[in-house]
Amino acid sequence: MATGSSRLVPLTACLAIALLTGACGTPSPDPPVEQSASGPGASDAGSADASGTPRPSAAPRVLGPASADLRDVDRANAPAPGDFVRFGARGEATATSTVWGTVRVRRGTTVLYGDTDGDHRDEAAVYVGCDDNGATQNTQIAAGYVVYTHAGDDLAVLGSITPQQDGEYLTALTGAEFAPGRITVHEKWYRTNDAHCCPSGDAVTVWTREGDRLTAGVPRITS
């Protein structure tokens, strides 16, 4: 599975889940960041016209001052909304879900960078996911990329990217490429007879950026 940040902001569990599917919701979080809209769009994931029916868009959620290059953001000292739980040295935290009980929230170790709005400053995509910490065979509950951007001189959350291709189990995210106005996301999905360890399907989904809104196109199966 693709990974997220070892150098970016230390996300709290409530932020991570508000941005993703809400499946691992935690009690009394800060006001949630709006999840990116998804819906029907162009059938060709390589098309710049891949778009859906978006929700009303608000400005990105500002977290605090940031350096001009997001690669230089110090994750240990960067502010984060919520203050509900913070990741430890291994990039993991435990939280209590109203749906699943005790869950493990994980942050990845690699940040994906690219410029989508032409301001010559890269955005950053960070993998965040949660699982039931081995309580059941279906351990993975939610997964996605949290996308960071600049709001003036501040660090802000632009939105979230979640798997779009349906499968027998939760679809994995395996990478992304940034381009003007879009982020092309690679997904690994489970066919009916796939073992839990080994999804065999590949798909790509183009997420378009219009202003401060990310919108998912229709996933295109590539294998």
* Spatial separation of the C-alpha atoms in residues 39 and 151, rounded to whole Å: 26
**Domain residue spans of the chain:** 13-221
Give me 180's structure tokens. 């003007």
Q: What is the model's pTM?
A: 0.74
Report in angstroms the alpha-carbon separations of 51 from 3, 9, 68: 25, 29, 30
For residue 5, the model assigns a pLDDT of 41
Phi then psi for residue 203, to 5 deg, are: -150, 160
Give the number of other CB atoms < 10 A from CB of residue 180.
11
For residue 49, the model assigns a pLDDT of 39
**CA-based R_g, the chain, Å:** 16
Q: What is the pLDDT along the chain (223 residues), one digit of tens a residue?
A: 444 444 444 333 334 444 443 546 543 333 333 333 433 333 333 333 333 433 434 578 887 888 889 888 765 554 444 344 566 667 777 877 777 788 888 888 788 999 999 999 999 998 888 888 777 665 678 889 989 999 988 888 898 999 999 999 999 999 999 999 999 999 999 999 999 889 999 999 999 999 999 999 999 999 9
* Spatial separation of the C-alpha atoms in residues 204 and 137, rounded to whole Å: 27
| Residues contacting 158, CB < 8 A, separation 6+ | 60, 123, 147, 148, 149, 209, 212, 214
Element (H, E) at 159: strand 154-161
